[in-house]
Amino acid sequence: MLEDFSPKLLSVSLLTKENVPPVRRSYGRRISGDWELELIVDGTGEIITDGQSLKTVPGRLFIRRPQMELEGYSPYYSYFIVFRDDTQSLGEVSFPLFLDHMEYLLEEFKILRKNFIQPDTVSALELKGALFRILAAVLRSQKQGTPLPIRQSEQYIREHLSEEISVSRLAEKAGYSLNHYTRLFKEALGQTPVDFIRSCRVRKACERLEETDDTMEKIAQDCGFSNLSYFFRAFKTVQHQTPGQYRQTVRFYSPQTR
């Protein structure tokens, strides 16, 4: 029973650009020994879990039971915690491999890291509280479904990235006021509609930069950016590097060049 749940936090790690391998390098195969939660902060890598390949999308929270077979491929940056459940309270709970749009838990992971590496007299309470809040959010997210109008908006956005997308029009089609629609959208997907559209366009641009030799102008146009200047600003905001730097890095470390 969850009432008896008493986890023991074993480690808290932070993967950054300073301590991860270059693009498309393996972190190594391993078997999870305890429960693990990994919140992806940034990057475009991949994690293979029990033979299933999953992209490391920002805001994606990976949930791992003991004895899972794992292999990660850079580059992705994350907060990563390991804990033990000696009471086996989580054994009967059905968890997905991941949950999306969990960016709002970032502060809880920061609390865990700070109190784990710099403990003080109240850190034990801070650690337990943050871990309980994260797990409660995971269980709650499994029960709460995204409203149908928001799911329809998400699908429309992904299918029309090359076109002009009006958030006001999306709200109107969903049957909500703009303010109410924006609030529901952020609650469901973890981003405002404007930020979500920008992130989707940048991810599409990343694919084009990896897979084609198209000019920056063509990629910007095909991904729905109104001009090249905005494309560069948006890309750097999301990816923390310019499109040219991204393409150069990906090409240099691609399997074909190694």
Rounded to whole angstroms, the Cα distance separating 42 from 14 reads 12
Rounded to whole angstroms, the Cα distance separating 102 from 245 reads 28
Among 17-21, 61-65, 121-125, 173-177, the least confident range? 17-21
Rounded to whole angstroms, the Cα distance separating 236 from 20 reads 20
Rounded to whole angstroms, the Cα distance separating 182 from 170 reads 10
- DSSP code for 51: T
Task: Enumerate the domain spans of the chain.
Answer: 2-143, 148-257
**Regarding the domain delimited by 2-143, which CATH topology (the fold level of the hierarchy) does it fall under?**
Jelly Rolls (2.60.120)
Average pLDDT over residues 160-170: 94
User: Residues 6 or more apart from 77 whose CB is under 8 A from it?
Assistant: 15, 16, 17, 20, 40, 41, 42, 43
Per-residue pLDDT band at 143 (split at 50, 70, 90):
low
pLDDT at 88 (0 to 100) = 83
Model confidence pLDDT, tens digit, residues 3-35: 778 889 999 999 988 877 777 788 888 999 999
Percent of residues, the chain, with pLDDT higher than 70: 94
Model confidence pLDDT, tens digit, residues 45-74: 889 888 888 888 888 899 999 999 999 988
User: Residues 6 or more apart from 197 whose CB is under 8 A from it?
Assistant: 157, 161, 165, 167, 224
Per-residue pLDDT band at 99 (split at 50, 70, 90):
confident
pLDDT at 20 (0 to 100) = 76
Model confidence pLDDT, tens digit, residues 197-210: 998 999 899 889 98
pTM metric for this prediction = 0.58
Model confidence pLDDT, tens digit, residues 208-238: 998 899 999 999 999 999 999 999 999 998 8
Class of domain 148-257: mainly alpha
pLDDT at 52 (0 to 100) = 83
Average pLDDT over residues 84-106: 83
Buried b (16+ CB within 10 A) or exposed e, 1-25: eeeebebebeebeebeeeebeebbe
pLDDT at 255 (0 to 100) = 44
Percent of residues, the chain, with pLDDT higher than 90: 48
Q: Decide: 110 and 70 in contact? Cβ < 8 Å.
A: no
- Identify the CA nearest to 203 among candidates 158, 171, 233: 158
pLDDT at 258 (0 to 100) = 32
Q: Which residue has the higher pLDDT, 139 or 157?
A: 157
Rounded to whole angstroms, the Cα distance separating 51 from 61 reads 18
